[in-house]
A and B are shown apart, each in its own frame.
Chain A
Amino acid sequence: MENQSMILREDEILLDPIRKTGKPFYLTLFILLGVIFWALFAYLNQYKEGLGVTGLARPVFWGVYITNFVFFIGISHAGTLISAILRLAKAEWRRSITRSAEVITVLVLFFGVGNILMDLGRPDRMLNIIRYPRFQSPLLWDVSSITVYLTASSIYLYLPLIPDIAILRDHGGKWQWFYRIFALGWKGTEKQHYWLEKGISIMAIIVIPVAVSVHTVVSFVFAMTIQPMWHSAIFGPYFVAGAIFSGIAALIVAMNLIRKVYHLEDYLRPVHFNNLGILLLVMTLLWFYFTFTEYLTVYYGAEPLHMNIFWSKFTGRFAPYFWGMFLFCFVIPLPILSFKKTRTPLGTLIASLSVIIGMWLERYIIVVPTLTNPRLPNEQIIYSPTWVEWSILAGCISFFILLYMLFTKIFPIVSIWEVKEGREKSMAEVQERIKTYLPGIGVE
């Protein structure tokens, strides 16, 4: 015990959020709870009155909720995927950021699923999906894929948490019983470390294809119908790229907040933001590439049906959304992320916020314009979301922030043991590794 707290001393600051809770925390909590209760009120209103309280109508049957669903599932790609890739690539700078990324994944998934459930006309019958499943429907592919993803990323979040929970258990403080249970008797022996590392690397590998499948399948909900501008083979990769894009942005925002609020400037350094900024830059370009390909294909095909929707996005009713998306997803982040000088924590924060807004708009202009312009002549419905839909979106975001905040109050948001391990072991390991790359030194 004595020994461990000695070792911990330099990382003491990582336990501060758990030990001390100040006024700002309660103030934020209060505000968030306010928004959440407002959203709850909005939803109860919808539950009672029916979906007539939204802006939806025939033929625009889907709107903000489905947009939110795709958007939140997209955000969830931050965590697990990035963390897994960085772990497998043995990128040493990952150590202080993986935890904050993985938490996003697990928490935000609930809001993706939640939005689908709130979109149901009969939420009381949602278990019919389990009682009478029909795997012919892409929605069921979603259900399966997201369930696997949630399970896998929860395990993937939990495994690297175990040693840190053990630290909390050994350090006194509140909720000893809680940490004792979840530490699973971790003692930090050689053997335990071996199995833990093994478990983490297996999960890291499993989680990557699962994450890719999740967003591909989300896109299939649209792509498997024959509706114009949905029925596109590029949708799978387009959605996956967009998901990673918005996911990284969400991670950068979260890291900025953690860094400022808990004074972790030493753990989340400009270099982290620089590196993630480069990754975000790559995704910005990739996003542009996919968007360009998608729209150029439609434009050259020039089927009147498709062109209706195309022009409604480019010059018509949805032009503000479309060009807004282009502005937020490309025009704003590109210059900021292109230069090292602006790839600072603040610079990447601005770019990321812009990307998050842009990606929500992208989801919106995928869902709504197609439904607004059906094949057969129909009533001209101008869909505009009502206060209920906006309140629920605000509620989801607030609830997510609340859960994230609570997580940081219960578990260390920067992995203590991994940072320590990096400090103690990796230096030598990396040196050894570099030697294996280069000709002429040491190893045969």
Chain B
Amino acid sequence: MFKWGMVIDLDRCSGCQACVVACQAENNISLPEPEGAKKGRSIHWMELLPYIEGEYPHIKARLLPRPCMHCEKPACIKVCPVGATYKNEEGIVGVVYYRCIGCRYCTTACPYNVRNFNWYEPKWPKEMKGSLNRDVSIRRKGVVEKCTFCHHRLLKAKEKAKAEGREFIAEDYIPACVQACPSGAMFFGDLNDPFSIVSRLSRERRAFRLLEDLGTEPKVIYLSEGM
């Protein structure tokens, strides 16, 4: 059984936001009108968090790419009244869009604020009509959505392996953000395999997880900067 995880090396991250854009395009994330964006209604499955540490003059600014943490013990699943959010056996936390009632309990319970709500009916500029990804369903207004580790890519990779008559291996599957990262700061793979690159990196001295003390056991691991 696989347990999918991601490692983000902050030493290598240049903050270029290629991952953000790749995610936006891959997952058919709607583009809000400017006034909606100004009110904080834009949706991001992957975004760069500005971390400002210390006070002037000892100030340090960092950027932290933040997808869904795909926690082993997710706070969001516990509170969902209809079972619209779940964790599958490979550790990916997902949302059943057609069951979600839009109560937004999961969005308030998630300590990482990775969950997004569709405040409006999704919209794209006319020019983008033909460029939506057919593997990813469109979320209508009123439901919650979030990063799925590009779960559709996993399904596709498994099908492909089957069609080619070979065993599916962890390397067949890679989310869009990891694929797009130009500085090679992001890694993806099977945390259950002790020799996989993510497993090895997760044991590094620089490895940490976000808000580790909450006991949510995130499967996104960061490698801290400048050590």
Residues of chain A touching chain B, judged by Cβ–Cβ distance below 8 Å, are: 49-52, 55-59, 61-62, 116, 119-123, 125-126, 128-129, 131-134, 136-140, 143, 221, 224-227, 371, 374-379, 381
Contacts and interface: CB of A to CB of B under 8 A. Distances in A.
A126 B101 CA distance: 6
Contact of B81 (A134, A376, A378): A134
A62 B81 contact: no
Contacts of A119: 103-104
Chain B interface size band reads 35 or more
Interface string B206-226: 000011001000000000000
B82 A134 contact: yes
A158 B154 CA distance: 59
Contacts of A138: 79
A369 B200 CA distance: 41
B108 A225 contact: yes
B194 interface: no
Nearest to A221: B105
Contacts of B142: 50-51, 120-122
Given A59-B113, A129-B81, A137-B80, A50 B121 contact: yes
Contacts of B50: 377
B112 A376 contact: yes
Given A120-B103, A375-B211, A134 B83 contact: yes
Contacts of B40: 57-58, 379, 381
B102 interface: yes
Interface of B: 36, 39-41, 49-52, 66, 75, 77-84, 99-105, 107-109, 111-113, 116-121, 141-144, 210-211, 214
B108 A122 contact: no
A221 B103 CA distance: 12
B81 A143 contact: yes
Contacts of A133: 81-82
Dominant secondary structure at the A interface: loop
Question: Which 8 pairs, one residue from A and one from B, show the smallest C-beta to C-beta distance?
Answer: A121-B102, A121-B142, A57-B40, A52-B119, A50-B141, A139-B81, A137-B81, A61-B104
Given A121-B142, A227-B111, A129 B36 contact: no
A220 to B, nearest CB: 10
10 contacts: A50-B119, A58-B113, A120-B102, A120-B103, A125-B82, A133-B82, A136-B77, A138-B79, A374-B111, A376-B113
A376 B82 contact: no
Contacts of B75: 225-226
B210 A139 contact: no
A376 B66 contact: yes
Contacts of A224: 78-79
Contact of B113 (A123, A125, A134, A378): A378
B121 A139 contact: no
Contacts of B103: 116, 119-121, 139
A132 B98 CA distance: 12
B66 A132 contact: no
A375 B212 CA distance: 12
B41 A132 contact: no
Contact of A371 (B78, B80, B108): B108
Contact of B143 (A121, A371, A376): A121
B113 A225 contact: no
A417 B69 CA distance: 64
Contacts of B113: 58-59, 374-376, 378
Contacts of B121: 50
A222 B213 CA distance: 20
A415 B36 CA distance: 54
Contacts of B214: 226
Contacts of B84: 128, 132
Given A50-B120, A56-B119, A376-B112, A139 B52 contact: no
A121 B143 CA distance: 6
Nearest to B79: A137
Nearest to B116: A58
B82 A129 contact: yes
A129 B105 contact: no
Contacts of B36: 52
Nearest to B216: A226
Nearest to A371: B108
Contact of A128 (B99, B109, B144): B99
A430 to B, nearest CB: 49
A119 B102 CA distance: 8
